[in-house]
């Protein structure tokens, strides 16, 4: 397999983890490159269901190195809980000790980051982003404001102490006077950091530079994306986005590699669309179709349990995702969820409700999205169970027509089709 990045191509939850898990079989080194425990990644392997948030799902295989790259943000106590959960499902702690690595350059999500995220969400009322309240935005804010705490800082008490003398007075003023929240003493923070150091110590890869050239020369690399292009900090529905770059471009930076390390970018799309949190979603269906998609698709968040908003496939935003996400091929998931729909819609343009103008490009200013409604093309459904199909030829004719239509519009090949949550329920197209 070529070095491959798996990118969510819609608003997250496209089924990336299932695709990553399948591709991981062919990889030696699997790395997350952005995001934190805001992600909720489900893998169903041999009938067992695993929920990942930070840990690359490649940990389900023996002898594959799984890394959290420099571009990730880590809440060590959440990570510890996740490791314990996965261990309780039968993955040995030895495998974690041998195969799970953390970049010393990744940033730490501190308690004050989750305090601020929670406060903002609870107080912004109708202007809230609908975040996962995992402290993601505030952690990346400090990273880019050059006042974050990195994993490596936890292992240098003197440097950490000096850093805190600079960071903490500022952070406490912010907590007290901007957010009306409780300040932290230096002692509190040192205690928190000591706990985090102990949790992370077995996994931090201080020799990552030494190992990297061997990985680049001799290993097959899989970059595991979280979130999705439409949640990208630059290209998503800003400000209703996450705070990192989940695109193929983001992968190289977040995994400490050059762009030449990536040879293939698989964009994962659901056969319809979902979104959790606030922000525009032009094809959102508030009628029976949306409810039916949510029920059949089991569309409830892995991380927060929130019901996902549902709607039809938006080919305009999908084309934009292919472009800015740097996608070279498509994995289409949850095609089976459409099995019982008589008609299936694809948005092929947007109509300006005020002027009647039809546009076929993605308007990047999210505040204008309320002016647009989707223009749909309707495909006939196949009204049969496809969950047992294992080859393209076995798919019903109308399902093939739906796939052809998507390929035509997106100008990109669909190479993987998922017809159920299990590893086996997958069709590969050469
Ligand atoms: P991710 O965040 O992109 O990895 O996706 P999530 O795990 O949050 O959500 C995808 C959900 O759909 C999970 O419950 C998967 O087990 C499930 N899933 C993945 N592929 C398929 C599929 O082809 N059909 C069905 N019915 N479910 C799927
Ligand atoms: P996976 O990897 C779906 C959404 C949140 C919110 C916005 C910002 O499972 O696809 P954040 O907590 O990141 O500051 O929230 O992004 N969001 C996701 N939506 N899947 C995810 O991850 C998400 N991670 C964040 O709901 O709208
Ligand atoms: Mg998810």
**Domain at 153, CATH number:** 1.10.300.10
Helix (H) or strand (E) holding 143: helix 136-144
Is residue 334 domain-shared with residue 372, that is, in the same domain? Answer: yes
Sequence-distant (≥ 6) Cβ neighbours of residue 403 within 8 angstroms: 332, 335, 395, 414, 417
173 is in which domain, residue-wise?
Answer: 107-200
Q: Kindly state if the Cβ of 10 falls inside 6 Å of ligand 2.
A: no
What's the pLDDT at 430? 81
Residue closest via CA to ligand 2's atom 3 equals 12
pLDDT per position as a tens digit, 43-74: 999 889 999 999 999 999 999 999 999 999 99
Q: Which residues surround ligand 3, an ion (CB under 5 A)?
A: 13, 40, 302
Q: Is 8 in the pocket of ligand 2 (CB under 6 A)?
A: yes
Q: What is the model's pLDDT at position 124? A: 87
Q: Of 180, 200, 220, which one is at a domain's C-terminal end?
A: 200
**Which bound ligand lies closest to the C-alpha atom of 51?**
1
Largest separation between any pair of C-alpha atoms in the chain: 67
**Per-residue pLDDT reduced to its tens digit, 294-323:** 999 999 987 788 899 999 999 999 999 999
- What's this model's pTM, rounded to 2 decimal places? 0.97
Same domain, 300 and 258: no
Do 145 and 95 fall into the same domain? Answer: no
The pLDDT value given to residue 304: 82
Check if 148 has its Cβ closer than 6 Å to any atom of ligand 2.
Answer: no
Q: Residues of the chain with pLDDT > 70: what percent?
A: 100
Q: Which of the listed residues 221, 250, 266 is the one where a domain comes to its end?
A: 266
**In this structure, are 122 and 32 located in the same domain?**
no
Say what the pLDDT of residue 306 is.
87
The answer to whether residues 179 and 98 belong to one domain is no
Q: How far is the CA of 165 from the centre of ligand 2 (A)?
A: 33
CATH of the domain at 379: 3.90.170.10
Please work out whether the CB of residue 326 comes within 6 Å of at least one atom of ligand 2. no
To test the ligand 1 pocket, which listed residue (40, 42, 309) has its Cβ within 8 A of the most ligand atoms?
42
Residues 46 and 30 in one domain: yes
| 293 shares a domain with 413 | yes
Domain boundary residue, one of 175, 200, 225: 200
Q: Report which of 193, 124, 210 is spatially closest to residue 152, judged by C-alpha positions.
A: 193
As a whole number, the mean pLDDT across the chain is 97
Specify the CATH number for the domain of residue 218. 3.40.440.10
With a Cβ cut-off of 6 Å, ligand 1 is lined by 8, 12-18, 40-42, 44, 298, 302, 333-334, 336-337, 418-421
The answer to whether residues 193 and 167 touch, using CB atoms and an 8 Å cutoff, is no
| Residue 149: closest CA among 245, 243, 141, 77 | 141
Between the CA of 240 and the centroid of ligand 2 the distance, in Å, is: 10
Q: What angle do CA 304, 10, 42 make, to 5 degrees?
A: 45
Band of pLDDT at residue 169, cut at 50, 70 and 90: very high
CA 179 distance to own-chain centroid:
28
- Total domains in the fold of the chain: 3
Residues 377 and 181: their CA atoms lie apart, in Å, by 51
What's the angle, vertex CA 209, arms to CA 65 and CA 54, rounded to 5?
Answer: 40
Helices (H) and strands (E) in the chain, counts: 12, 19
Residue minimizing CA distance to atom 6 of ligand 1:
13
Q: What is the predicted pLDDT for the residue at 35? A: 98
Residues 184 and 53 in one domain: no
Q: What is the DSSP letter of 229?
A: G
| pLDDT tens digits along 212-240 | 999 999 999 999 999 999 999 999 999 99
85 and 209 belong to one structural domain: yes
Looking at the structure, do residues 96 and 225 belong to the same domain, yes or no? yes
- Nearest residue (CA) to ligand 2, atom 16: 242
In this structure, the residue with its CA closest to atom 15 of ligand 2 is 131
What token pair was written down for 158?
């003197």
Q: Are residues 225 and 165 in the same domain?
A: no
Residues 274 and 413 in one domain: yes
């Amino acid at each position: 397999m070529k070095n491959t990045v798996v990118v969510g191509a819609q608003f997250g939850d496209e089924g990336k983890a299932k695709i990553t898990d399948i591709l991981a079989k062919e990889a030696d080194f699997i790395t997350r490159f952005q995001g934190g425990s805001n992600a909720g990644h489900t893998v169903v392997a041999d009938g067992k269901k695993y929920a990942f948030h930070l840990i690359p799902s490649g940990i389900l295989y023996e002898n594959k190195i799984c890394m959290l790259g420099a571009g990730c943000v880590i809440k060590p106590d959440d990570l510890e809980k996740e490791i314990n959960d996965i261990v309780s499902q039968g993955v040995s702690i030895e495998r974690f000790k041998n195969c799970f690595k953390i970049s010393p350059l990744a940033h730490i999500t501190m308690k004050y980051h989750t305090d601020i995220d929670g406060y903002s969400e609870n107080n912004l009322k109708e202007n809230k982003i609908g975040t996962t309240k995992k402290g993601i935005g505030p952690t990346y804010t400090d990273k880019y404001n050059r006042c974050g705490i990195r994993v490596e800082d936890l292992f240098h008490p003197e440097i950490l102490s000096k850093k805190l003398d600079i960071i903490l007075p500022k952070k406490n003023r912010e907590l007290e006077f901007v957010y009306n929240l409780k300040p932290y003493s230096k002692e509190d923070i040192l205690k928190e950091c000591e706990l985090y150091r102990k949790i992370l110590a077995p996994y931090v890869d201080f020799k990552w530079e030494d190992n990297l050239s061997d990985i680049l020369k001799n290993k097959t690399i899989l970059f595991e994306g979280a979130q999705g292009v439409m949640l990208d900090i630059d290209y998503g529905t800003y400000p209703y986005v996450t705070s990192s770059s989940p695109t193929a471009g983001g992968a190289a930076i977040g995994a400490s590699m050059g762009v030449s390390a990536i040879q293939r970018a698989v964009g994962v799309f659901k056969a319809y669309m979902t979104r959790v949190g606030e922000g525009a979603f032009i094809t959102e269906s508030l009628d029976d179709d949306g409810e039916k998609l949510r029920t059949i698709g089991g569309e409830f968040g892995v991380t927060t349990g929130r019901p996902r908003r549902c709607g039809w496939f938006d080919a305009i935003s999908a084309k934009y995702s292919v472009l800015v996400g740097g996608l070279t091929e498509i994995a289409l998931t949850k095609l089976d969820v459409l099995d019982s729909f008589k008609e299936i819609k694809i948005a092929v343009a947007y109509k300006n409700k005020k002027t009647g103008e039809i546009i076929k490009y993605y308007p990047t200013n999210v505040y204008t999205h309320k002016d647009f409604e989707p223009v749909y093309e309707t495909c006939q459904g196949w009204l049969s169970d496809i969950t047992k199909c294992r080859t393209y030829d076995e798919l019903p004719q109308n399902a093939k027509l739906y796939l052809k239509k998507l390929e035509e519009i997106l100008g990109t090949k669909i190479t993987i089709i998922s017809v159920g949550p299990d590893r086996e329920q997958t069709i590969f197209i050469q």
